[in-house]
């Protein structure tokens, strides 16, 4: 794995000094630019404005605590814990579908442990956050290997909002192993992440990738052009249901109809029982009715844009999981 260059999307946020630099994925492929984040308010804006996607947002959440710990060096221990709890509440509220609370609760638990056991709070929590991040990186690299092993010579793979970096890096491994693999990436409207990000990073890793319209999936499968589907996920349930970018559910239904294996890259969780319990985020209708800040249609019509849909577990062939704990 060490000889594989990581995709910029694999680890799209990092701290340097007292500033968090977050890759602005909305500007790719036009340019590579990192947004500067210095506090919780700016972190919430990056998350809400979708400057980075699911995994990048988790990195923002974890690193925001590091920023606040640095900023809180002059606070009392009690005041610092209160500040961290306020930070957790703010981050948890930034996007309802995302399970940020599963991560923020862990960080707050470390802070409370430091208080209870009279430990030096800032170095204790800081060390644990860095260890947590290192563990996530290791497990993600392991999953890249699993994905590459899952992909066979001659496969033709459809993807829709996959986990940042991982599929592209797995494609690189497959190329090094002389596997001939073809990828179809959906547009992933309305942000066009499939067009701007998925195609870009797969091509950057030397993969054979073709862009297809979101509504071409049925035709693609009926014509036998796809033999596997690999998607990412934003939230998973105890029973195996998961939520992902809107449009994933219909792909899963079609894959079942055409007997095409459907794989999901996910993080196991038992915090919610089933898909019915997932809160689906309804995004601002302007995101659907405008493109690059310009109106798509002059007529006054309403827009309805649920950011995610839920895929029942019985439509999944196999989960390729990573335990971030």
> What would the pLDDT profile of 49-77 be if each residue is shown by its tens digit?
999 998 999 999 999 999 999 999 999 99
pLDDT at 2 (0 to 100): 53
CA-CA distance, 117 to 109, in Å (whole number)?
Answer: 12
pLDDT, one tens digit per residue, over 139-189 is 999 999 999 999 999 999 999 998 889 999 999 999 999 999 999 999 999
Average pLDDT over residues 205-217: 97
- Mean pLDDT, residues 80-105 taken together: 93
- HEC sequence for the chain: CCCCCCCCCCCCEEEECCEEEEECCCCCCCCCCEEEECCHHHHHHHHHCCCCCHHHHHHHHHHHHHHHHHHCCCCCHHHHHHHHHHHHHHHHCCCCCCCHHHHHHHHHHHHHHHHHCCCCHHHHHHHHHHHHHHHHHHHHHHHHHHHHHHCCCCCEEEEECCCCCHHHHHHHHHHHCCCCCEEEEECCCCCCHHHHHHHHHHHHCCCEEEEECHHHHHHHHHCCCCCEEEECCCEECCCCCEEEECCHHHHHHHHHHCCCCEEEEECCCCCCCCHHHCCCCEECCHHHHEECCEECCCCCCCCCEECEEEECHHHCCEEEECCCC
Q: Of the candidates 159, 170, 258, which has an alpha carbon nearest to the alpha carbon of residue 209?
A: 159
The answer on pLDDT for 239 being more than 50 is: yes
Backbone angles phi, psi at 91, to 5 degrees: -65, -40
For 239-254, what is the mean pLDDT?
97
Question: 88 Cβ partners below 8 Å, 6+ apart?
Answer: 101, 104, 105, 107, 108
Catalytic residue chosen out of the listed positions 153, 155, 223, 234: 234
Average pLDDT, the chain: 94
Question: Given pLDDT bands bounded at 50, 70 and 90, which one contains residue 323?
Answer: low
Confidence of residue 103 (pLDDT cuts 50, 70, 90): very high
Is 234 annotated in the active site? yes
- Tell me the percentage of the chain whose pLDDT exceeds 70: 98
Mean pLDDT of 116-145: 96
Which range among 81-85, 105-109, 295-299 shows the weakest confidence by mean pLDDT?
295-299
Question: Is residue 234 within 8 Å of residue 162, measured between CB atoms?
Answer: no
């Amino acid at each position: 794995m060490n000889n594989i260059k990581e995709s910029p999307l694999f680890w799209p946020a990092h701290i340097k000094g007292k500033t968090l630099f977050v890759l602005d994925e909305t500007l790719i492929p036009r340019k590579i630019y990192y947004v500067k984040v210095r506090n919780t308010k700016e972190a919430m804006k990056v998350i809400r404005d979708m400057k980075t996607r699911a995994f990048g947002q988790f990195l923002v959440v974890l690193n925001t605590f590091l920023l606040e710990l640095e900023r809180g060096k002059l606070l009392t221990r009690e005041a610092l814990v209160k500040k961290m709890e306020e930070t957790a509440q703010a981050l948890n509220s930034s996007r309802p579908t995302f399970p940020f609370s599963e991560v923020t609760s862990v960080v707050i638990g470390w802070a409370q442990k430091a208080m209870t056991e009279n430990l030096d709070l800032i170095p204790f929590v800081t060390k644990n956050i860095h260890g947590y991040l290192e563990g996530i990186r290791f497990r993600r690299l392991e999953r890249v290997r699993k994905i590459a092993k899952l992909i066979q010579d001659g496969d033709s793979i459809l993807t829709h909002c996959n986990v940042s970096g991982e599929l592209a890096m797995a494609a690189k491994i497959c190329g090094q192993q002389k596997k001939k693999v073809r990828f179809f990436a959906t547009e992933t409207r309305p942000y066009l992440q499939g067009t701007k990000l998925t195609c870009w990073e797969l091509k950057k890793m030397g993969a054979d990738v073709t862009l297809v319209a979101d509504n071409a999936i049925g035709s693609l499968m009926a014509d036998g052009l796809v033999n596997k589907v690999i998607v990412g996920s934003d939230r998973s349930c105890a029973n195996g249901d998961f939520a992902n970018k809107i449009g994933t559910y219909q792909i899963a239904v079609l894959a079942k109809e055409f007997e095409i294996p459907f794989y999901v890259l996910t993080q196991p969780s038992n915090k919610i029982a089933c898909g019915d319990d997932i809160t689906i985020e309804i995004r601002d209708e302007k995101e659907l009715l405008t493109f690059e800040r310009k109106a798509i249609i002059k007529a006054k019509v309403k827009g309805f844009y649920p950011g995610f849909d839920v895929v029942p577990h019985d439509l999944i062939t196999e989960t390729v999981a990573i335990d971030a704990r």
